[in-house]
Chains A and B, each alone.
Chain A
Amino acid sequence: MECPVCRESMVIIEYESIELDYCVGCMGIWFDSGEVELLLEKAGVSVPSDALKLVDASSELRELSRPCPLCRKNMRKVSPPETGIILDQCPDNEGLWFDAGEVGETVKQMAGASSNIVIQVLQDFLGKAVSSNNE
């Protein structure tokens, strides 16, 4: 798969049977929707919980629109509520794209609001990709 930002071939990382794609060039991360479900299952959450609720952010024009690495359609801008972080979501909901540091930022802000098991699993999975901002 191609990175939607720098068009490089992305590397797949598997940890504890969850897989993500990431770009070594820009360190952005692609969350396949199937993998998100797996992640939730692992955390013991059956349905997409509030922790992953996203609001439309198409009014924000800071970033250019990018093609979905799976279906090539332009992704739409979304945002976790009250964070100001802008993510890209596939219009057919095939997955979610985080720029470098955005996962860490999201996790940090949401962990502050409530200690969520999803966040814990994410933190464990992503290691330095989450905590690198603190170093």
Chain B
Amino acid sequence: MWEIIQSNKRKSLLLVFLMAALLMLIGSTFGEYFAGSYLTGLFIAFIIWIILSLVAYFQGKNIFLSISGAKKISKDDHPRLFNIVEEMKIASALPAMPDVYIIDDPAPNAFAVGRTPEDAAVAVTTGLLNVLNRDELQGVVAHEIGHIVNRDTMFMSMLAIMLGTIVMLAEIARRSLFFGGGRRRSRSSSRGGGGQAQIVILVVGLLLMILAPLLARLIYLAASRKREYLADASAAVFTRYPEGLASALEKISVSPVKMRKVNQATAPMFIINPMQKLHESKDSLFSTHPASKNRIGILRAMAGGSSYLNYNQAYQSVTTDKHSLIPKSVLKSPPAMDEKKKTAEKSQPDMTQMITRTVMTGAIISDSAKPNEPENHVERVRETNDALWKSQGYRFIDCNCGAKLKVPPDYKRQNVVCLRCHESHSIK
């Protein structure tokens, strides 16, 4: 685990420097072009970057959660979801329990935010809770916790801020070009003499204005895609059951429902890009997430194992990418328990995983094994809605006749009369 974080940090730093260099280049070029001094441009770029970073550092988590309309829930609101997050907290050895949020949105999706593993949050949509069974939900939560453990949440927000700064600078430049900035350009270029240098700066400036945001976005997206694969690998290791996440991704990717509160900036944070077109089958340069088909394929090709080694092998065979996804040092020293399992696997392939799985779910029959799925679906929807209502301050009363009364927070009477049995319940 530690090696992955380390190698992630090194790659992250490289990308951050690349992004920073781009930011400085665009700042100084625009400064030279518009104000005649590259220092002024650098200064402006620096100021914008500092402000955005400070805001993100102190409020990033909350801003993102509130943009998405996420509501914090407690264990009573949705015991199953809360339990699953706690299970994955234990499996991933996270130092603190992340906050759990739900988003009232019919599109199934999830994301994680947080600067440090101590101060993280996991959010899922009501649509996700409605369509997934326990094992699938566990896979999705494990993927999100994987982002937190691998420090992706912190890193991606850092890159996103730089991307934002670059986009902002390009926007400022574009506007000043149309309103007034152009005057300076026409005067200086007609003057002859040093005109040639001016023209070069003009051309470079125009090119940068168009290319920099694009380039920055490409850096950002490349980083994002790799991290999705890594988080999938982590999810398989945490749950020791890759099929859970695979089947969840399958359900999420075929869902025709579109997310409501989402934009370009927040899209990469979700488990599946809420804006991506359906049935996209190749990893394109412009996608935030790898194609779901690839992700599912890799998880299903893990052949009974659930270690980083298994994932890496499956990754290389499915994507035909010769590079190792996961640093060699991790692959060389698999966790102690996996070594033990492998010796057992030799005699009975596949069975070890089943046994581990049965030990995990133990004697308890998981809800996916129950035959009456449609009934379960209605119950799941009720459960999700209840969680939403409880988070909004509804009070729940169990009436003796078996009915459940849900009283809104702005209810003004002292007592509630049950519709079925006319029993009166007083409200504290």
Question: Is A8 a contact partner of B412 (Cβ separation < 8 A)?
Answer: yes
Question: Contact string, B136-174, partner A, CB cutoff 8 A, digits 1/0?
Answer: 000000000000000000000000000000000000000
Q: Is the CB of A13 within 8 A of B420?
A: yes
Within 8 A of A (CB), among B376-402: 378-379, 382, 389, 394, 401-402
Known contacts: A11-B405, A12-B406, A14-B406. The answer to whether A132 contacts B379 by CB under 8 A is no
Contact in complex: A13, B403 (CB < 8 Å) = yes
Decide: A22 and B411 in contact? CB cutoff 8 A: no
Other-chain residue from A8, A25, A29, A38 in contact with B419 (beta carbon distance below 8 A): A29
Q: In the bound complex, do residue B404 and residue A13 qualify as a contact, i.e. CB atoms below 8 Å apart?
A: yes
Are B422 and A132 within 8 A (Cβ)? Answer: yes
Cβ–Cβ < 8 Å partners of B402 in chain A:
15-16
Does B321 touch A at the CB level, under 8 Å? no
Contact with B along A16-59 (1 / 0, CB 8 A): 11011010110101000000001000000000000000000000
CB neighbours (8 Å) of B382 from chain A are: 14, 17, 19
CA distance A8 to B416 in the complex (A): 13
How far is A14 from B405 in the complex, measured between Cα atoms in Å? 6
A125–B399 alpha-carbon span in the complex (Å): 13
Q: Complex: how many Å from CA A27 to CA B379?
A: 26
- Contact, CB under 8 Å: A24 / B404: no
Contact A125 B412 (CB under 8 A): no
Question: Judging by beta carbons under 8 Å apart, are B405 and A13 in contact?
Answer: yes
Q: Which of B401-426 contact A (CB under 8 A)?
A: 401-408, 410-413, 416-422
- Whether the Cβ atoms of A11 and B406 lie closer than 8 Å is yes
Beyond A9-B408, A10-B408, A127-B401, whether A15 also contacts B420 by CB under 8 A is yes
Q: Is the CB of B411 within 8 A of A20?
A: no
Which residues from A are CB-within-8-Å of B405? 11-14
Q: Which residue of B lies closest to A16 (CB)?
A: B402
B406 touches A125 (CB 8 A): no
Give the docked Cα–Cα distance between A128 and B375 (Å).
Answer: 26
Return the contact of A13 from the options B375, B410, B418 (Cβ within 8 A): B418
B419, A129: Cβ atoms closer than 8 Å: yes
Q: In the complex, A129 Cα to B404 Cα: how many Å?
A: 15
A70 in the interface (beta carbon within 8 A): no
A121 within 8 A of B: no
Closest B residue to A129 by beta carbon equals B419
Measured in the bound complex, the distance between the Cα atoms of B378 and A135 in whole Å is 34
A1 cross-chain contacts in B, Cβ below 8 A: 408
Chain A residue with the shortest CB-CB distance to B402: A15
Given A17-B382, A27-B419, A129-B419, A9 and B412 touching (CB < 8 A)? Answer: yes
Confirm or deny: A126 has a beta carbon within 8 angstroms of a beta carbon on chain B.
Answer: yes
Nearest residue, chain B, Cβ from A125: B420
Report which of B379, B407, B421 forms a contact with A11, defined as CB distance below 8 A: B407
Are A11 and B404 touching (Cβ within 8 A)? no
| Contact assessment for B419 and A20 in the assembled complex, using a CB-CB cutoff below 8 Å | yes
- Chain B's closest residue to A25 (CB) is B413
The answer for the CA separation of A127 and B410 in the assembled complex, in Å, is 27
A87 to chain B, nearest CB (A): 17
Q: Within the assembled complex, what's the spacing in Å between the Cα atoms of A38 and B374?
A: 11
CA distance A19 to B402 in the complex (A): 13
* Distance between Cα atoms of A24 and B402 in the complex (Å): 18
CB <8 Å contact, A14 and B378:
no
A102 CB, nearest partner CB in chain B, Å: 13
Asked whether, in the complex, the Cβ of B421 is within 8 Å of the Cβ of A127, the reply is yes
CB distance from B129 to the nearest CB of A (A): 16
Determine whether the beta carbon of B403 is less than 8 Å from that of A9: no
Shortest A11–chain B CB gap in Å is 5
Q: A8-B412, A9-B411, A19-B382 are in contact. Are A14 and B422 (CB under 8 A)?
A: no
15 residue pairs from A and B, CB less than 8 Å apart: A8-B411, A9-B408, A9-B410, A11-B408, A12-B389, A12-B407, A13-B406, A14-B406, A15-B402, A15-B403, A24-B413, A24-B416, A29-B419, A127-B419, A127-B421
Which are the 3 A-B pairs with shortest beta-carbon distances? A127-B420, A12-B406, A15-B403
